[in-house]
Amino acid sequence: MSLAEDLRRDFPLLYPATLNEWMLEAPEGWRDLLYELSRRINGKPGQVQQVKSKFGGLRYYYRERDNEVTAAIRDAVAAAWMTCEVCGAAGALRREGSWWLMVRCEEHADGAEVIERYRDRETALASIRAHDGTVSQAGITAVVELEKAGYHIGPEIDGGCVSVRRIGNNDDVAWVDVGNTVRVGGNGPLFFDIIEALEGRAKRDRVEQRLLD
Ligand SMILES: [Zn+2]
């Protein structure tokens, strides 16, 4: 049985048949952490929208989540960051070729090189230099995604935020809050490009924030 099938069997409320196979892609190596997460949030209000691995990170989209669900997802994402997708052993974020990102242990590295600046959480924290130390795993993942999409990530411009520019263009600057909720700020077209690059994950927060601005 695949992990997805096992999750459907053991947590039918979380993973109903309406969540089709494209919406539930669970790497075997993340079995333990996905079971732990599922146990914590089973029976909570809200709804799982999609589960997948992307750019070496766990994506766990959940509609109308409360703080407990948010915390449980955050823990799972943090664990996935350091867990081989294939076997569940301790892993590190690796790059294969110019762009493919994955979390793999030594045995399953298959030639992919560790990205030194994301070797572990402390190194990643230091590399993006958010001075107040509130960088979340989601924030680090967002930075990795933006780098892959060709953006230049600068040092912090404000507490918990990093600046983001297109390489070769210093005029249009946006910022990304890399704290527990990833938010994107800015006024130019870059803002929308970054939202796009992050696949809409930060969009709702930003829409809310724009209303408050
Ligand atoms: Zn492995």
Q: How far is the CA of 91 from the centre of ligand 1 (A)?
A: 7
Helix, strand, coil shares, percent, the chain, to 5: 35, 25, 35
Q: How far is the CA of 1 from the centre of ligand 1 (A)?
A: 19
Can you give the pTM of this predicted structure?
A: 0.64
**63-97 pLDDT, tens per residue?**
888 888 888 887 887 788 789 999 999 988 887 76
Q: How far is the CA of 88 from the centre of ligand 1 (A)?
A: 6
The residue whose two tokens read 């404000």 is 158
Could you tell me if 143 and 187 are in contact, meaning their C-beta atoms sit under 8 angstroms apart? no
**Burial class of residue 47 in the structure, from the number of CB atoms within 10 Å of its CB (0-12 exposed, 13-18 middle, 19+ buried):** middle
Q: How far is the CA of 16 from the centre of ligand 1 (A)?
A: 29
CA angle, corner 136, sides to 132 and 140, nearest 5?
105
Query: Rounded to whole angstroms, how far apart are CA atoms 34 and 116?
Result: 26
Q: How far is the CA of 45 from the centre of ligand 1 (A)?
A: 34
Q: How far is the CA of 154 from the centre of ligand 1 (A)?
A: 32
* DSSP letters for 126-175: HHHT-TT----HHHHHHHHHHHHTTEEEEEEEETTEEEEEETTEEEEEEE
Q: How far is the CA of 17 from the centre of ligand 1 (A)?
A: 30
Q: How far is the CA of 29 from the centre of ligand 1 (A)?
A: 7
Q: How far is the CA of 83 from the centre of ligand 1 (A)?
A: 8
The residue count of the chain comes to 213
Q: How far is the CA of 87 from the centre of ligand 1 (A)?
A: 4
Q: How far is CA 92 from the centre of its chain?
A: 14
Q: How far is the CA of 80 from the centre of ligand 1 (A)?
A: 12
Q: How far is the CA of 66 from the centre of ligand 1 (A)?
A: 33
Q: How far is the CA of 105 from the centre of ligand 1 (A)?
A: 4
According to the model, what pLDDT value does residue 212 have?
Answer: 31
Q: How far is the CA of 96 from the centre of ligand 1 (A)?
A: 15
Question: Once rounded to an integer, what is the mean pLDDT over residues 182-206?
Answer: 66
**31-44 pLDDT, tens per residue?**
999 999 999 999 99
Angle between helices 137-148 and 189-197 in degrees, nearest 10: 110
According to the model, what pLDDT value does residue 207 have?
Answer: 39
Domain locations in the chain as residue ranges: 1-114, 120-213
**94-131 pLDDT, tens per residue?**
877 656 678 899 999 988 888 776 676 666 655 554 43
Torsion sign, CA atoms 50, 139, 34, 103: positive
